[in-house]
């Protein structure tokens, strides 16, 4: 008998096993579970930090045991994996039991996702951050796997790796698709195929144990029919130290993120994608490139910060050369729907060894645990210098603007300007702050609050520990700024009315005080020689609504870096005559805004 000749498990039966019929009160159950999750986190906060990780494993294991009991599945002994130590107190045991019992009323895939997600949610914030262990909403898992399917992922035959498997969110979704694709095959064949072709690597032994336990439940019916245990898919290992095996057709996951200190050997190994400090998700992106077979796919959930900034320039260039992106989905979650989920998140799909082309952009809005609305948002092209920021529309209204901006090749350097950060890191010079301009070599100290939200320069030191003057001492000459410039705040959030907040530092103010000292939370757009554009015009353009939208399409973090400002697409200096006249005449803001919009072809 051929292993896939007869449908011992029909496609319909396979789908029912994986999803399960929703109970009549499933929405009410989901609401109950959401409340129980909040209670569980509150319970975990009562524990000492030293006990939290073991208690989180105990709690999640207890909830999983209650789930198994509720659906009639026996536990599989896994002696090679971490076992929980200690005991749950009465309150924790009751909550875990209730969560497991309620989860048994959900479709199986959803129940397993919910249970395995308890472990990272219960960890102390510091440990969760160190491990990069964050809950992945099931809607994001399914969307990313759907995109892999659309780009040709063959679930019946592919080899799949999650290099940072965590609690197994992506492995559960992928294995469910593999067994559904092989629904007409013998159970033993399906289990063997999964065991031979699916691998999850995870440095946290507790998370790996939970992921394997969840997969055991997902495959329990096949194991019973085949008379053998489910395959071991998880391996406890530090992925940064394992030699790459470039044989996987799909590398998928939500890699950990956060700064990481690499050993000299690791920095040498991954240096091709690094600049300055290393972020874990950037390193894991390089790892994905090393493990993916030619023509294979990489499907990753990451922060958006790699799209811009100097620190990720090498990584962008590496991706463009070795695995150009096929699509990017920008994720927007309703505030408070998911704990620990970054608002600035994206799903990206890459083709190893593919040809760079137009990248499809989508806008993904999460309304609940399993619900997402998807809007197509056009396509983008990567810049000729792939290390430059990648411009992409972040909402449906920005598509036409990005298409126009892609053709704008002018930058601040052509206007005669460079950008640098304010030279003073004030807390290194606390003893030189002054409240009054008395004595020699005392100059105005320019703080970020001197640049107002409406684009004016107002000399002030309004915040705690801020003083209005600074006394230069021997060796401090590099701190003195002796020429006018345009000041731009270095840190702004996407929720603010403007991401770019700029003001001209007037020449008369600088000359009247013999120079000023600019604090490090400001960028300085400074002329190199004689500029082709007046500083007041530069400030007006940076403060415009249209340029603010352009910046939002290139920025992936709260930082407004000198690198991004220097990469900002601009009109040709020769086209600025009308804007220059309006600024010189003190024209109303609406007139200046309209001219800036015209320069960027807004509405085209």
Q: Are residues 182 and 329 in the same domain?
A: yes
Q: Are residues 441 and 459 in the same domain?
A: yes
Q: Are residues 142 and 260 in the same domain?
A: yes
Cβ-contact 8, 186 below 8 angstroms = yes
pLDDT, the chain, mean:
91
Domain annotation covers residue 216: yes
Domain annotation covers residue 19: no
Domain annotation covers residue 15: no
Q: What is the pTM of this model?
A: 0.90
Which two structure tokens, joined as six digits, stand for 486?
A: 């345009």
Cα separation, 423 vs 413, in Å, equals 20
Domain annotation covers residue 171: yes
Domain annotation covers residue 7: no
Domain annotation covers residue 229: yes
Q: Are residues 479 and 500 in the same domain?
A: yes
What integer pLDDT is reported at residue 514 of this predicted model? 96
Cα separation, 208 vs 195, in Å, equals 16
Q: Are residues 113 and 217 in the same domain?
A: no
Containing domain of residue 187, as a range?
132-396
Instruction: Please state the domain count of the chain.
Output: 3
Q: Are residues 373 and 486 in the same domain?
A: no
Cβ-contact 135, 339 below 8 angstroms = yes
What integer pLDDT is reported at residue 20 of this predicted model? 45
Q: Are residues 116 and 262 in the same domain?
A: no
Q: Are residues 374 and 470 in the same domain?
A: no
Q: Are residues 95 and 190 in the same domain?
A: no
Residue 1 has pLDDT above 50, yes or no: no
What integer pLDDT is reported at residue 576 of this predicted model? 97
What integer pLDDT is reported at residue 545 of this predicted model? 96
CA 585 to chain centre: 44
Q: Are residues 190 and 159 in the same domain?
A: yes
Q: Are residues 574 and 478 in the same domain?
A: yes
Domain annotation covers residue 261: yes
Residue 502 has pLDDT above 60, yes or no: yes
Residue 337 has pLDDT above 90, yes or no: no
Which two structure tokens, joined as six digits, stand for 375?
A: 């809007």
Q: Are residues 378 and 459 in the same domain?
A: no
E-strand spans in 111-247?
A: 160-162, 198-202, 234-236
E-strand spans in 125-168?
A: 160-162
User: Which residues make Cβ contacts (< 8 Å) with residue 138, sequence separation at least 6?
Assistant: 109, 110, 113, 169, 173, 369, 370
Domain annotation covers residue 201: yes
Cα separation, 170 vs 167, in Å, equals 9
Mean pLDDT lowest among 15-19, 173-177, 244-248, 294-298: 15-19
Q: What is the CATH number of the domain that holds 315?
A: 3.40.50.150
pLDDT, one tens digit per residue, over 228-285 is 999 999 999 999 999 999 999 999 999 998 888 999 999 999 999 999 889 999 999 9
């Amino acid at each position: 008998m051929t292993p896939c000749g007869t449908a011992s498990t029909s496609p319909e039966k396979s789908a029912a096993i994986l999803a399960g019929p929703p109970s009549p009160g499933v929405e009410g159950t989901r609401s109950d579970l959401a409340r129980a999750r909040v209670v569980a986190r509150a319970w975990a906060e009562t524990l000492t930090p030293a006990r939290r990780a073991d208690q989180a494993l105990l709690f999640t294991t207890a909830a999983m045991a209650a789930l198994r009991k509720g659906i009639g599945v026996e536990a599989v002994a896994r002696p090679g994996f971490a076992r929980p130590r200690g005991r749950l107190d009465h309150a924790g045991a009751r909550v875990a039991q209730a969560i497991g019992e309620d989860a048994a009323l959900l479709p199986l895939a959803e129940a397993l996702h919910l249970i395995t997600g308890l472990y990272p949610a219960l960890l102390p914030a510091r440990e969760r951050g160190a491990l990069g262990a964050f809950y992945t909403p099931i809607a994001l898992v399914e969307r990313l796997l759907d995109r892999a399917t659309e780009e040709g992922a063959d679930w019946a035959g592919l080899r799949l790796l999650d290099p940072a498997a965590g609690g197994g969110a992506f492995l559960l979704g992928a294995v469910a698709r593999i067994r559904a694709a092989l629904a007409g095959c013998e159970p033993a064949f399906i289990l063997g195929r999964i065991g031979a072709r699916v691998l999850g690597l995870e440095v946290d032994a507790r998370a790996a144990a939970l992921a394997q336990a969840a997969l055991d439940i997902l495959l329990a019916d096949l194991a019973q029919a085949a008379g053998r245990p489910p395959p071991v898919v998880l391996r406890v290992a530090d992925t940064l130290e394992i030699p790459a095996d470039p044989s996987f057709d799909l590398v998928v996951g939500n890699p950990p993120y956060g700064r990481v200190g690499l050993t000299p050997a690791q920095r040498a190994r991954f240096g091709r994608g690094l600049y300055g400090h290393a972020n874990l998700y950037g390193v894991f992106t390089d790892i994905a490139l090393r493990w993916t077979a030619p023509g294979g796919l990489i499907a990753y959930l990451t922060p958006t910060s790699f799209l811009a900034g100097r620190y990720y320039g090498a990584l962008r260039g590496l991706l463009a050369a070795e695995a150009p992106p096929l699509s990017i989905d920008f994720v927007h979650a309703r505030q408070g729907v998911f704990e620990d989920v970054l608002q600035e998140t994206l799903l990206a799909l890459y083709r190893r060894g593919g040809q760079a082309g137009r990248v499809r952009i989508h806008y993904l809005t999460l309304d609940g645990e399993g619900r997402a609305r998807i809007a197509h948002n056009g396509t983008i092209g990567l810049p000729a210098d792939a290390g430059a920021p990648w411009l992409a529309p972040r909402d449906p209204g920005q598509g036409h603007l990005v298409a126009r901006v892609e053709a704008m090749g002018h930058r601040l350097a052509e206007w005669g300007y460079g950008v640098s950060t304010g030279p003073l890191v004030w807390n290194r010079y606390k003893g030189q702050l002054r409240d009054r301009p008395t004595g020699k070599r005392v100059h105005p100290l320019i703080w970020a609050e001197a640049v107002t939200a409406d684009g004016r320069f107002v000399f002030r030191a309004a915040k705690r520990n801020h003083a209005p003057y600074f006394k230069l001492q021997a060796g401090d000459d590099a701190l003195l700024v002796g020429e006018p410039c345009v000041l731009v705040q270095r840190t702004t959030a996407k929720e603010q009315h403007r991401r770019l907040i700029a003001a001209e530092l007037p020449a008369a103010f600088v000359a009247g005080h013999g120079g000023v000292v600019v604090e490090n939370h400001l960028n300085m757009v400074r002329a190199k020689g004689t500029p082709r554009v007046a500083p007041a015009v530069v400030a007006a353009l940076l403060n415009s609504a249209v340029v603010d939208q352009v910046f939002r399409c290139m920025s992936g973090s709260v930082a407004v870096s000198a690198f991004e400002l220097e990469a900002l697409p601009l009109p040709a200096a020769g086209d600025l005559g009308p804007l220059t006249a309006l600024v010189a005449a003190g024209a109303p803001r609406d007139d200046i805004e309209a001219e800036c919009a015209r320069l960027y072809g807004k509405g085209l």
